[in-house]
Amino acid sequence: MATRIEGRIGDHYQLSAVLGRGAMGTVYAAKDLRTGKRVALKALHVRGFLDPRDPDVLRFEQEARIAGSLASEHIAQVFDIERDPETEAPFLVMELLRGEDLQSLLDRVGPLSVDVALRIAAQAARGLAAAHAAGVVHRDVKPGNLYLARQHGGEIVVKVLDFGIAKIRRLPVDLSAGAGLTAPQASMTATGQLLGSPLYMSPEQVDGAKGLDARSDVFSLAVTLYAMLAGRPPHADVKSFPMLLTRISTTPMPRIRAAAPWVSPEVEALLDHAAQLDREARFPNAAGLLDAIEPLLPAGAALREELLVGCGGNSGP
């Protein structure tokens, strides 16, 4: 629930509410006093003297350049990056979304029906496909970074959030170097750093493999789909962090029909393909995964608010 506040950032933004807080920053609802437009501001936490070379600062600014370079209905828009004139801390100016993230929905209602879970996965895959086509690997796909944005009339659009730890593999060919916000050519994440959410990490992320690519996001989205169907990710029972990392890197993801027997063999086969330990055996990117999901959705991937209910543990497509 948003917390009402009053205040300003600089001369241009009137704050109205705190929408969320995380390890790196706080997200506010605000009004752009120049245009009257309602926006979201993601402000970096300031810890004393702000070093522009601080990895958090670099990662935060990278998120703006990445998200600003990607055109997709299924990626949260970043309009600009500015700095607080008082603290010099950067903040992102983003589209203001109404709704909740997927993790909040799962916490509230439990497992989803197969049809709804596939619709959410398909929309998320569309956003990731746009990122992959631009040479961007998200690296932290999980329910908390998939936002179920409510539109007018009850429609739900899935938006991929938080490209803050994403890795750039190449500069998009259709973006000029001076055209607004563009993606940097170099990665801000060092090989060997464990960045991401462990329960949803790919084996190659855990192992610190070089050349992390789109297939890592495919694996993480498959784990997210498993969590939507089973109500929790596949290795949620592991309590030891080292044991969790070992399990992810050496043990195949459990068959979904063992946890959710109402899931069809076709969906189980899709999950098995997407979550192979050997990335060479997975779908090559999110577009490939989307191509496999769409035949399982004869009515399409559109979502409405009334569909976002728990399945009660026995619902198929």
Residue 59 shares a structural domain with residue 113: no
pLDDT band of residue 191 (cuts 50, 70, 90) is very low
288 in a structural domain: yes
* Percent of the chain predicted with pLDDT > 90: 58
Answer yes or no: is pLDDT of 37 > 90: yes
Is 136 part of a structural domain of the chain?
yes
183 pLDDT higher than 50: no
Say yes or no: 30 and 54 in one domain: yes
Query: For 70, phi and psi rounded to 5 degrees?
Result: -110, 125
DSSP string, 155-180: EEEEEE---TT-EESS--TTS-TTSS
Domain shared by 91 and 108, yes or no:
no
Domain boundary among 50, 70, 95: 95
Judge whether 122 lies within some domain: yes
Domain membership of residue 108 (yes or no) is yes
What mean pLDDT do residues 95-113 have? 95
Q: Assess whether pLDDT exceeds 80 at residue 168.
A: no
Query: Mind listing the pLDDT tens digit for each residue in 267-276?
Result: 999 999 999 9
32-48 exposure pattern, b = at least 16 Cβ within 10 A, e = fewer: beeeeeebbbbbbeeee
Q: Are residues 105 and 80 in the same domain?
A: no
Average pLDDT, the chain: 84
Q: What is the DSSP string of the chain?
A: -PEEEEEEETTTEEEEEEEEE-SSEEEEEEEETTT--EEEEEEEPP-SS--TT-HHHHHHHHHHHHHHH---TTB--EEEEEE-TTT--EEEEEEPP-EEEHHHHHHHH-SBPHHHHHHHHHHHHHHHHHHHHTTEE-S--SGGGEEEEE-GGGEEEEEE---TT-EESS--TTS-TTSSS---SS-SS-TT---S-GGG--HHHHHT-SS--HHHHHHHHHHHHHHHHHSS-TTTT---HHHHHHHHHHSPPPPHHHH-TTS-HHHHHHHHHHT-SSGGGS-SSHHHHHHHHGGG-TT-S-EEGGG-SB-TT----
Query: Is 14 within a domain?
Result: yes
Query: Does one domain contain both 268 and 224?
Result: yes
Catalytic residues: 140
C-alpha to C-alpha distance for 147 and 143, rounded to whole angstroms: 8
pLDDT tens digits, 296-315: 999 999 999 999 999 876 65
CATH number, domain with residue 302: 1.10.510.10
1 vs 146, more confident: 146
Dist CA 295 CA 285 (whole Å): 17
119 in the Ramachandran plot: left (φ > 0), alpha (ψ -120 to 50) or beta?
alpha
Domain shared by 149 and 37, yes or no: no
Residue 196 confidence (pLDDT) above 60: no
pLDDT at 244: 92
Query: In the listed set 45, 79, 95, which residue is the last one of a domain according to the structure?
Result: 95
Same-domain check for residues 113 and 228: yes
Is the pLDDT at 317 greater than 90? The verdict is no
Note down the domain range covering 303: 99-172+183-307
Please indicate if the annotation marks 31 as binding a ligand.
no
Q: Are 141 and 277 within one domain?
A: yes
How many domains is the chain partitioned into structurally? 2
Check residue 20 and give its pLDDT: 84
Among 105-109, 171-175, 194-198, 303-307, the range scoring the smallest mean pLDDT is 171-175
Same domain, 108 and 163: yes
Are both 206 and 275 inside the same structural domain? Answer: yes
Last residue of a domain, one of 95, 112, 145: 95
Share above pLDDT 70 across residues of the chain, in percent, rounded to a whole number: 81
- One-letter identity of residue 242: P
- Residue 73 shares a structural domain with residue 192: no
Looking at the predicted structure, is the pLDDT value of residue 77 above 60? yes
Q: What is the pTM of this model?
A: 0.85
pLDDT at 190: 40
Residue 313 placed within a domain: no
* Within-domain flag for 316: no
| 315 is a domain residue | no
The CATH number given to whatever domain includes residue 80 is 3.30.200.20
More confident site: 121 or 167: 121
Q: In 10 A of CB 313, how many CB atoms?
A: 12
Residue 278 sits in the same domain as residue 210? yes
The model's pLDDT over 38-71, given as tens digits with 9 standing for 90+, comes to 999 988 776 555 565 667 667 667 766 777 778 8
pLDDT confidence of residue 44 = 75
Q: What integer pLDDT is reported at residue 50 of this predicted model?
A: 55
